[in-house]
Chains A and B, each alone.
Chain A
Amino acid sequence: MLIHVSAIINLFILKYNSEGVDRKNIGRKKKKLKLHEEKQYIPRNKNRIMFLKFKKNKMAIVGLIIILLLIFTGVFSEFIAPHSYREQNLPLKNQSPSPNFWFGTDEFGRCIFSRIVYGARISLKVGIISTGISVLIGIIIGSISAYYGGFLDQILIVLMDVMWAFPTILLSLIIVAIIGASLNSVIIAIALSYWVQYARLIRGQILSLKNELYIEVTRSLGANDSTILWKHLLPNAVIPVLVAATLGMGNAIVLEATLSFLGMGAQPPTPSWGSMLSNGRTYLFIAPWSAIFPGVATIITVLGFNLLGDGLRDIMDIKMKE
């Protein structure tokens, strides 16, 4: 019953939206319509137009630059960091920022700048691997669920809804509590907490694609299920997932920082930004820099992912409207 109602509502929304688009198109100049037609005839240009659109989106460029910087820092940590991230130098504890220690030193006299540089690697690693795993799980479950439909679909939808009902942070805390606190368990916990959104996205995409004419043609040419699914459906359905994954990476980094902040994530002396923030919190009145810099690093990184993700989404949405 409920499904029916929501389907009807969805239909209405779709209708309203399409009307809106139509109305807009009526108002547009002829030139733009021409461009429209051109694109339909030369699909190769699509990428080029997307690139141009991206170039116009300044915020997305900023996001991209931040992320490229993060990747650079993470990959070349050894060359960038002036000091070791783990070696303690107790007499130099809690020193304020200076030419030798750009961001000051922490409670054990370790260079905060170097720890943040190495921390970039941790964040990157967690962001990429955990999002990678959740996208993978999401794609497999979502596409199977959509393609085969029926009873299997029902079961998988229930599973997704149950997982979706849990707040992410709670779910990941439970998972970490079960398998024990470490960086790897955090990666697993994040992956298992976030896959549902990708599964739903891919399911929706494939549902809309699987009745298209070209799929029917492929099938009548004798292609089997896996060829249709992996070669013809997925490549067309995966782009929105990639956009979501960019945004999701930012979320994953925040979740890692959160878990480490709570002591459930990376264990000392691993320089996770979250645990640095947590440790620095004790010294907020004595050595504020030990909490401020890791906090700022987290904010900037997440901002980067969000800006890029938003930019990509804008571009993709336009493409979908075509």
Chain B
Amino acid sequence: MKKLTIYLLLIVFLVALTGTFSLAASSEKELVVVVDPAAKGTATLNPLKLKWGTSALYALYDNLVEMGLDGKYYPALASSWEMSEDAMTWSFHLNKAVKFHDGSEFNADVVKWFIEEMRESPSDYMVQSIQSVTVEDPYTVIFHMEYPDPNLLYNLSSVFMKIPSKEAIEKYGDDFGIKYAVGTGPFILDEWIMDDRVILKKNPDYKWGTELSENKGPAKIDKLVIREMKEEATVFMELTSGGVDIAEGIPAIFLEKIQEDENIGVVEIPSARLYYLAMNTQKEPYTDIKVREAICLAINQEEIVEHVFMNVGKPAHSYLVDQLEESKVPEEYKIRYDLDKAKEIMAEAGWKDTDGDGILEKGGEKFVANLWVENISVFRRVGEVAQEQLRKLGVDAKITQYDSVTFKDKLTKGEQELLIRLYGWDNADILEWYFNSKRMGYPNVAMWDDEKSDELMDKAMTKAATWEERVEYFIDYHKYLLKQFPWAPIYLPPVNFGIRKEVIIPPVISSTRLTGPPILDIDIE
């Protein structure tokens, strides 16, 4: 009798086991993407509260217009648009038959509501130029401009202007972006485990793909998992073992190893990232422009690129990524390593090493700097080399590592002295984002408050009628900022995507984000 029970139990167990296996082996196509460790840190999936764009948003939401890698704008939720001759009105004709994931309709009312909501968002400057929005008919909206804005289409195509469902935001309130995220994108939010992964499933009703992808209908893959990992070594291991299919940004130290691996292809996509060291310009001694200049000149970008990033990528000498026209400032404005000059400037500012310990003093006080970095391997490594470089200048930099949440919290309070971060943006208006005196703490991590600067910024942001004028004004603003030395630019990384063989990617990648339009064409063997 006992034996019989055991056998029965065993059979039940085996049946249950095969059941789970057959379930797991169902033909669901799952794509796992891991974001660059340096760019991790999703805090919300609500575009209206976003301060830091993440890959998941590109799959969840759509924009009115979409920008390709060629720098051109393509119809997305807006099927066409016209600008009046004086550039003071724009009319957008919306794509009909677009529905949000919750079934609500996408129409002109939603766009009007969205522009109004944007005025309260962290990226409010993006709609600053729009005076009002009128609804012409359910599928036509007209933007009445306050001043001509050559950057309007860029803003409309940015991750911060992805359009969420009005109904869902009104229904879920503060839970929107945390528990719920409803857009019109090719993927629907299934689950978000903060700091770990966003799980998305295919939107079967999707049929409004842009010209940037061959497939306009529902995505070919059924499930998209976007993971965040803190450690570069983990990314490498997961990619080589097949735990992830696509790594957005292969860590430089592993690039060679991954290139040797025949199961992984490497695709380089022009990136728009920049590592920088920022100084709190409102804290002694960084209020002194000479001290700031000396620190900027003491940072040896070439050394960092060579030894921390194994010569993958380029050193940065201005505050903008180098594919932007506005980054092309005359040579004398560029910030380049010159330790001897830096030492001279420090001496001029009154900082001298009197007791021979290698650390500068002024008025009996040693130059001790607090250098903050996020608790992520790559930032610590850059920090440790910068620490040594500052030591050569005579600055005793003490590194403190913070986890990303505490770090951003600390920045908001404006307690920082020196810090190392990175940004990713391919438009010159990033200068406004980081140096506008209205955004103290974060994003204005340098606590930069300067009248002349704000004037130049305002001119560049609002006074340009054409793109050429805008470039010119932004170059002026950029030049002024560079001469004030609030930041030391460090490094321009390339973005090398590691893609496993099983993943079929389109022959030409049309967007900077694989989770953007190209995701529709991606398939798994």
Contact = CB atoms under 8 A, between A and B. Distances in A.
Nearest to A267: B399
Given A281-B231, A286-B257, A107 B375 contact: no
A93 interface: yes
Interface in A44-98: 86-88, 90-91, 93
Given A88-B388, A268-B384, A285-B257, A263 B307 contact: no
Contacts of A182: 400
A268 B380 contact: yes
B387 A285 contact: no
A283 B253 contact: yes
Interface string B385-412: 1011000000000111111001000000
A181 B303 CA distance: 28
B232 interface: yes
A263 B384 CA distance: 13
Contacts of A284: 233
Contacts of B232: 282
Interface string B225-251: 000000111001000000000000000
B51 interface: no
B315 to A, nearest CB: 14
Contacts of A283: 233, 253
Contacts of A149: none
Contacts of A91: 307
Nearest to B304: A90
B385 A88 contact: yes
Contact of A90 (B254, B385, B387, B399): B385
Contacts of B388: 86-88, 108, 269
B56 to A, nearest CB: 26
A301 to B, nearest CB: 24
Contacts of A269: 384, 387-388, 399
B377 interface: yes
B399 A107 contact: no
B383 interface: yes
Nearest to A177: B406
A173 to B, nearest CB: 11
Given A263-B401, A282-B233, A268 B306 contact: no
A279 interface: yes
Interface string A155-179: 0000000000000000000000100
Nearest to B303: A90
Interface string A167-202: 000000000010011100000000000000000000
Contact of B306 (A88, A90, A264): A90
Contact of A282 (B377, B385, B398): B377
Contact of B383 (A86, A262, A268): A268
Contacts of B400: 180-182, 267
Contact of A181 (B236, B381, B401): B401
Contacts of A86: 388
Contacts of B257: 285-286
A279 B401 CA distance: 13
Interface in A274-299: 279, 281-286
Interface residues of A, number: 25
Contacts of B307: 90-91, 93, 108
Contacts of A279: 377, 380
A285 B381 contact: no
Contacts of A88: 384-385, 388
Contacts of B233: 281-285
A180 B387 CA distance: 20
A199 to B, nearest CB: 32
A134 B401 CA distance: 27
Contacts of B401: 181, 263-264, 267
Contacts of B380: 263, 268, 279
Contacts of A264: 401
Given A90-B385, A279-B380, A268 B399 contact: yes
Interface in A196-246: none
A182 B375 CA distance: 13
B398 A285 contact: no
A108 to B, nearest CB: 6
A268 B382 CA distance: 11
A308 to B, nearest CB: 34
Contacts of A93: 307
A93 B306 CA distance: 11
B398 A267 contact: yes
B357 to A, nearest CB: 14
A282 B384 contact: no
A115 to B, nearest CB: 13
Contact of B253 (A181, A263, A268, A282): A282
Contact of B231 (A90, A267, A282, A285): A282
A37 to B, nearest CB: 58
A93 B384 CA distance: 14
Interface in A83-125: 86-88, 90-91, 93, 107-108
Contacts of B403: 263
Contacts of A285: 233, 236, 254, 257
Contacts of A282: 231-233, 253, 377
Interface string B305-341: 0110000000000000000000000000000000000
A183 to B, nearest CB: 11
Contact of B385 (A108, A177, A263): A108
Nearest to B306: A90
B115 to A, nearest CB: 41
Task: Please list the 6 inter-chain residue pairs (A to B) with the smallest Cβ-Cβ separation, ordered nearest first.
Answer: A90-B307, A263-B375, A263-B401, A88-B388, A268-B384, A282-B233
16 contacts: A86-B388, A90-B385, A91-B307, A108-B388, A177-B406, A181-B400, A182-B400, A262-B375, A264-B401, A267-B399, A269-B384, A269-B387, A269-B388, A279-B377, A281-B233, A282-B377
Given A107-B381, A268-B380, 14 more contacts: A88-B384, A108-B307, A177-B406, A181-B400, A264-B401, A267-B399, A268-B387, A268-B399, A269-B384, A281-B231, A282-B232, A283-B253, A286-B253, A286-B257
